[in-house]
């Protein structure tokens, strides 16, 4: 799937902690019905056949909506299920190595907290950057904060698009207006909600307002 900046507008990142008796596949389907533009499978507690089965199922769901499906960290799993790409952190596989394994036709996202990391990821072949945490978050206990000034600096210093991540929800999303980001990546703002489709649709509207006010 050919990558475009618009795919980052509302980037849904999965989290099984919010299933509450539902299936991950059904939650992803609801998010896509609400307008999510990209999905990342990020399940640190899922391994082996369970992870493989989830990856295959969600890939099919995403492709039925013509939305790209990425896998967090696991480049080999991404290859095995023919995912559209992978997202790696600074502590995961080095970006240049990930690009070499994936090949040129897949999407590579890289986490960055500093301008130096952002430039290095771009040089290594990243298609986009995930920058954060821009707000306090309970999803990653070790997440280090990135100021809005730093976010703007990174956006203005690289050519590839940037997606903001970390603690983003409907109450603070518009604070990112004018930062230069291409979109937001969210976890609980979608998957912790009772009405996933409705909340996703509302977030998509807010992203549109944010992007419009930044022009």
Asked if the peptide bond before residue 212 counts as cis, ω within 30 degrees of 0, the response is: no
Residue 140 bears catalytic tag: yes
Residue 111 bears catalytic tag: yes
Helices (H), the chain: 24-34, 48-64, 75-80, 95-102, 115-123, 148-157, 188-191, 196-213
From the list 29, 59, 99, 111, the catalytic residue is 111
**DSSP label of 94:** -
From the list 140, 170, 201, 204, the catalytic residue is 140
Burial class (CB in 10 A: 0-12, 13-18, 19+), 185: buried
- Which of 9, 48, 59, 20 has its CA nearest to residue 196? 20
From the list 42, 59, 99, 106, the catalytic residue is 42
* Active-site residue set: 42, 111, 140
């Amino acid at each position: 799937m050919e990558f475009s900046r618009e795919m980052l507008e509302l980037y849904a990142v999965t989290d099984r902690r919010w299933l509450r008796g539902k299936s991950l596949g059904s939650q992803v389907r609801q998010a896509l019905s609400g307008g999510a533009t990209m999905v990342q499978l990020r399940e640190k507690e899922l391994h082996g056949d369970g992870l493989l089965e989830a990856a295959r199922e969600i890939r099919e769901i995403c492709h039925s909506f013509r939305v790209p499906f990425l896998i967090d960290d696991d480049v080999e799993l991404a290859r095995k299920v023919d995912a559209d790409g992978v997202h790696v952190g600074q502590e995961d596989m080095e970006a240049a190595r990930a690009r070499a394994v994936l090949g040129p036709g897949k999407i590579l996202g890289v986490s960055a907290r500093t301008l130096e990391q952002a430039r290095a990821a771009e040089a290594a072949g990243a298609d986009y950057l995930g920058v954060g945490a821009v707000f306090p978050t309970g999803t990653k206990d070790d997440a280090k904060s990135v100021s809005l000034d730093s976010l703007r600096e990174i956006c203005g210093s690289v050519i590839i698009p940037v997606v903001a991540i970390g603690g983003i929800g409907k109450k603070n999303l518009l604070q990112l207006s004018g930062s230069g980001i291409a979109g937001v990546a969210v976890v609980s703002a979608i998957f912790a909600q009772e009405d996933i489709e409705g909340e996703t649709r509302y977030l998509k509207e807010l992203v549109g307002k944010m992007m419009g006010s930044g022009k």
